[in-house]
Structure formats: structure tokens, C-alpha cells
Amino acid sequence: MAVYFIDSSALVKRYVNEIGSAYVLEIFNPSLNNEVFIASITGSNVYLCRQ
């Protein structure tokens, strides 16, 4: 198990296939029991960048 703090660009890589997405998807692999944290503003950042 590892602990990760990811930013908005890493969160987007979980849902959009781009360079680095495979690494991010592995972080979220449930069998690894990783803990993943994001800042409370991350959702707003992703939302605003999509506008």
C-alpha cells in the first residue's frame, strides 16, 4: 500500500487516455490498496478547465 496526493492533471489522466494514463490507472488499482488524496479544489479546477 502507498499513499498518493494527486493534482487535477493526474485526475484527468484517470479518465482521458493520454501519456501517463497507464501509470495513474495503476495507482487506482483496487488490489494495491493505495490511498489516493486530492485537494478540495481539484474538482473545481477540472470543471473550469473543461469550460
> Cell for 6?
494527486
Amino acid identity at 20 = G
Rounded Cα distance, 33 and 22, in Å: 17
CA dihedral 44, 8, 24, 12 (to 10 degrees): 60
Residue 51, pLDDT above cutoff 80: no
pLDDT at 28: 95
User: Is the pLDDT reported for residue 31 higher than 90?
Assistant: yes
Average pLDDT over residues 8-18: 92
Which residues have a Cβ under 8 Å from the Cβ of 40 and sit 6 or more positions away? Answer: none
Residue 25, domain extent: 3-50
The residue-averaged pLDDT of 8-21 equals 92
Q: How many domains in the chain?
A: 1
The model carries a pTM of: 0.77
What number of other Cβ atoms are within 10 A of residue 24's Cβ? 20
